[in-house]
Structure 1
Amino acid sequence: MEFVNIFTETYEYIGVMEREEAHTRGEWHEVFHCWCLSCDEGEWHVYLQLRSPDKKDYPGLYDITAAGHLEADESVEDGVREVKEEIGIDVAYEELEKVALLDTWIGKDREFAHEHMYVCRHSFSQFTLQEEEVEDVDRVSWEDFKRLWLGTAVRINSAKGHTLQRESFVPHENEYYPKLIEAIDRALIGRT
């Protein structure tokens, strides 16, 4: 059984609960998110995880590059293990930049997401995917990703030739994607 810390809606610690029970009851808990970005010839791209078709929740949809729940005995820094587990890239927490703490939900699943950015210099062939979790890794232009989530594009194209629209992604609520974009844009200021 996996246990998570639970919180009030204002991020005050309440206690510990079994993960599935926290989901069922709609309790706030913590997750770790890492968005991998790369810069090629002055243009930023964001890597996207395609969830395995065998996943219980949101199979076959695009999502955060690497993400997962923080267990009750873990720190935010311990969440970096998800990058190695899901996409096979071994990074130290100090190589990431924490860009935000966002509250988000999908139905009754209420999460405080510790958002991180990692400037990635890896090619697709360097990813080793956790097959039961991740079907593939693709990438899109950061500008296209922004246009899609800020409402100026209906569909965008990926590096691997897929056409993506909002329905192609895990449906995070509470204006998650616009808040994330704002946080990452702040972190990208002055970088090329």
Structure 2
Amino acid sequence: METEELNIFDEYRNLLGIETREDVHRKGHWHETFHCWIVSREEGADRIHLQLRSSNKKDFPGLFDITAAGHLLSKETPMDGVREVEEELGLAIAFEDLIPLGVIKDQIHQEGFIDNEHCHNFLYLAKENSDLRFELQKEEVAGMVSADFQAFSELCMGKRGQAAVEGFKMADDGTAEPFAKTIRKTDLVPHSQSYLEQVAVRLKQVLEKA
């Protein structure tokens, strides 16, 4: 995976060349990613779905994150990114069913890991939670939870300190066990504050019109 080739850009999305994924994160090159947020609408209430990253992941194990996301390889477009939804969650979603939220910058800087992303964000609006039959890629995803969208939005915006999530977590024997927790921002992958705020605002704008 570290040898995958990614397009690299400057901060303004001007293409500069190609580097390996390892070098991209070592040198801090800007690159493109695909982010899909899934929201289900049930009896007028919106719930946003988050994945629980596997404890075996190299980066941010055991934290909650975007419903499905991944890097775009050098020869891929955002349309190709929809494969991440099926690979990670087992959901066959057509790109045409996604609602574009635009490109949002995200930066995560830690020792030995510099992540500068131009994130192509999309929303998939499911009519009912029962429509979402998750089959998880166990190497990547350890469970799925959902939260009231308003509560999650306020958590992202810094207007509340915690939010309740519920869903399931995969046991060692491969069975899904009910799971519930009250999460704080520290339980999320440490995306930049500006990224989380823009995601929350853009999701809310779309959901209010849907």
CA deviation after TM superposition for structure 1 residue 173, in Å: 1.3
| Unaligned runs of at least 5 residues, structure 2 | 168-179
Contact 1:88 1:129 in 2 (8 A): yes
1:137 paired to 2:144:
yes
Contact 1:124 1:137 in 2 (8 A): no
Three-state SS of the structure 1 residue aligned to 2:166 is coil
**Aligned: 1:176 with 2:183:** no
Question: Which residue number corresponds to residue 116 of structure 2?
Answer: 110
CA distance in 2: counterparts of 1:68 and 1:93, whole angstroms: 15
CA contact (8 A) 1:106 1:172 kept: yes
1:46-61 mapped onto 2 (5 Å cutoff): 46-61=48-63
The number of equivalent residue pairs is 191
- 1:48 is aligned with what amino acid? L
SS in 1 for 2:74: coil
Equivalent position of 1:89 in the other structure: 91
- The secondary structure found in structure 2 opposite 1:158 is strand
Give per-residue Cα distances to partners, 1:6-43, cap 9 Å, x unaligned.
00111101111111101100000000000000111111
Aligned-pair CA distance for 1:124? 8.6
Gaps of 5+ in 1: none
CA deviation digits over 1:147-168, x for unaligned, max 9?
2112221111112421100000
SS in 2 for 1:103: strand
For residues 33-52 of structure 1, what are the structure 2 equivalents within 5 Å?
33-52=35-54
Query: What is the SS of the residue equivalent to 1:162?
Result: strand
Larger deviation: 43-52 or 182-191? Answer: 182-191
The TM-score, its normalising length taken from structure 2, stands at 0.88
CA distance in 2, matches of 1:111, 1:118: 21
Hey, what's the Cα distance between the residues in 2 that align with 1:178 and 1:20? 28
Shift of 1:122: 4.4
For 2:205 and 2:194, locate their aligned partners in 1 and report how far apart those are by CA, in whole Å: 17
Q: Secondary structure at the match of 2:209?
A: coil
Q: Deviations over 1:104-161 (max 9, x none)?
A: 1111110000000001244397100000000001000000101211222111111242
In structure 2, the partner of 1:154 is 161
SS in 2 for 1:77: helix
Stretches (4+) displaced over 3 A: 121-125
Distance verdict in 2 for CA 1:24–1:129, change over 3 Å: same
Post-superposition Cα deviations, 1:31-87, rounded to whole Å, max 9, x if no partner, equal 000000011111111000000000000000000000000000111100000000000
Letter in structure 1 aligned against 2:115: D
CA distance in 2, matches of 1:125, 1:181: 22
Deviation of 1:190 after TM superposition, in Å, equals 2.3
Distance in 2 (CA, whole Å) between partners of 1:45 and 1:146 is 11
Counterpart of 2:39 in structure 1: which amino acid?
A: L
How many percent of aligned residue pairs carry the same amino acid? 38
Alignment root-mean-square deviation, CA: 1.3
